[in-house]
Structure 1
Amino acid sequence: MITQQNVQLKPVSRGNYLMRNVLRHNMVFSEGSKGDAAYILTEGRIEISKNFEDRKKVFAILKPISIFGEMALFLDDGVRTATAIALEDSKVIVVTRDDLDEFMRESPKVIASIITVLVARLKSTTRKAMKAPSVGLGVVRILDLFSTCGKFELKYGATVKALAETFVSTPERIEQYIHGLADQGLLAVGRDENDVRIIRIRERDMLAAVMQKQE
């Protein structure tokens, strides 16, 4: 349950900036909301997360001193791409666009620090994005590994669950990929002699078959 935040003005650097007390489990901002300020964490811990296919993915646990939500200062009419929640009672300084204008006029060192944070975060995000697997291709690669090892029948439920957990996806999304492969004739979904639902892999070299169909 989100309750009203306690806020007060406190002197920060040269001016009076809003110091916000965020109680444990309360949101600083939510994914999809309009971003009009950045925050500097001075006390406590903040969790940064995002919903990915109906599941929460935690990107970072921030400790003082940390800047977050800073892209709102540089993007016009931007929306929040993540949710920030206090893991414990915390204090943050609210930095608005007007504050940024003042910083730019009077505190170039502060701007340099913000840019350094942005660059580091961009590099980290890029590395993670490059490592993030395509879920569809990942499913094919794992099924291909089974077929290469001579395993052509897999229990449907257990396979879907394992693939969903591996790729931080939903079972429904994994089932879409499996049935898509079945529509291509690369595998079949049926039942064994014990009436257990199974996946039958028809292609020994499934990866090559999928890549060939994409050409």
Structure 2
Amino acid sequence: MLMSENLLKNVPLFSSLDNTTLEELWGYLKKEIYPPHHTIFWMNEKGDQLYIIASGRVQISYIDEEGQEITLNIIGPGSFFGELSLIDNGPHVATARTVEETALLTLDRATFYSYLDKHPQLFHVLMQVLTTRLRDNTDKMRAVVDVNKQLEAKRSIFQTFVDNMAKCLTSSAFLTISVVFIVAWIVAQVYLYKRTSHAAIDFLDTPPTFFFLGFLLTLTSFLLTVLILNSQRRLAKEEEIRNKIEYHVNLKAQAEVMKLQLKMDQLLERVNKLQDTGEP
């Protein structure tokens, strides 16, 4: 029985139990072996079992709004899953599928609650585990929904070029270079004009080179306006998409928090009932 106790000791939910209690728990567990790539349960499928991985690996995933399967985690020996549906007999919030041949220990809902009634200290551990798992899953959903990467992938080469040009042309380095260039151009042209004409420049009669400078500045201003407006319009659209995605992620996280709160209320109600009656 030593192997069974060591296995259950590695499960966060049961790690605080003594060997006698773990041995009792082991007697309630049923062992099932699944082949690779076998779906243990689907998202939104009704569940009433707790699963503990004895060996192998299991992929936990969910389907996003676009119908794509997003992997939340790949867990191995000592990990457990299915606890949310076990508490209220509700549908699973994710899909579980084996990565390789996997041995699972299962505990049905009735037996689980009977065991919890005998060992009330597990209620507090279970609530801590549920809270931690929800926080981890929410963080992973945010990591998976990397808005910047999604928007970057949708950009064309031309859009990327426009953005880089707009960023370059609005940088302080470019503005400094532009001012230095204009001043140097004026000084150089004044010097050359005096050297060739041997007379002072009459700025009312603008030399041809200054006409060229004016044309160059006008063309640059036009290009700057077009590039910046184009880039700003697209960035505003991306920001709108980013806010929309963030809203849906926050909405999903809020829904999960509400579900978890409901499950915790059910657990607390059961604990209070046990404390009031003093009976399982």
Please state which band the TM-score falls in when normalised by the shorter chain.
0.5 to 0.7
Q: 1:95 aligns with which of 107, 111, 135?
A: 107
Q: 2:60 aligns with which of 15, 27, 48?
A: 48
Q: Which has the higher helix share?
A: 2
SS in 2 for 1:149: helix
SS in 2 for 1:71: helix
Please report how far the alpha carbon of residue 100 of structure 1 lies from its aligned counterpart in structure 2 after TM superposition.
Answer: 2.3
Q: Gaps (5+ residues) in structure 1? A: 1-10, 152-200
Please report how far the alpha carbon of residue 68 of structure 1 lies from its aligned counterpart in structure 2 after TM superposition.
Answer: 0.5
Change (3 A) 1:209 1:56: closer
Change (3 A) 1:134 1:22: closer
Percent identity over paired residues = 24
Please report how far the alpha carbon of residue 145 of structure 1 lies from its aligned counterpart in structure 2 after TM superposition.
Answer: 6.1
SS in 2 for 1:28: strand
1:97-147 Cα shifts (integer Å, max 9, x gaps): 212211221123444443332121111123234556585996399757654
**1:206 aligns to 2:233 (yes or no):** yes
Q: Is the 8 A contact 2:33 2:104 kept in 1?
A: yes
Q: Which has the higher strand share?
A: 1
Other-structure match for 1:148: 163
Please report how far the alpha carbon of residue 39 of structure 1 lies from its aligned counterpart in structure 2 after TM superposition.
Answer: 0.8
Number of equivalenced pairs: 153
**1:108 aligns to 2:108 (yes or no):** no
Counterpart of 2:107 in structure 1: which amino acid?
A: V
Larger Rg: 2
Say what the alpha-carbon RMSD is for the aligned residues. Answer: 3.6
| TM-score, normalising length: structure 2 | 0.45
Q: Is the 8 A contact 1:22 1:89 kept in 2?
A: yes
| TM-score, normalising length: structure 1 | 0.56
Please report how far the alpha carbon of residue 26 of structure 1 lies from its aligned counterpart in structure 2 after TM superposition.
Answer: 1.6
Change (3 A) 1:45 1:83: same
Q: Gaps (5+ residues) in structure 2? A: 1-22, 167-227, 244-280
Counterpart of 2:74 in structure 1: which amino acid?
A: I
SS in 1 for 2:29: strand
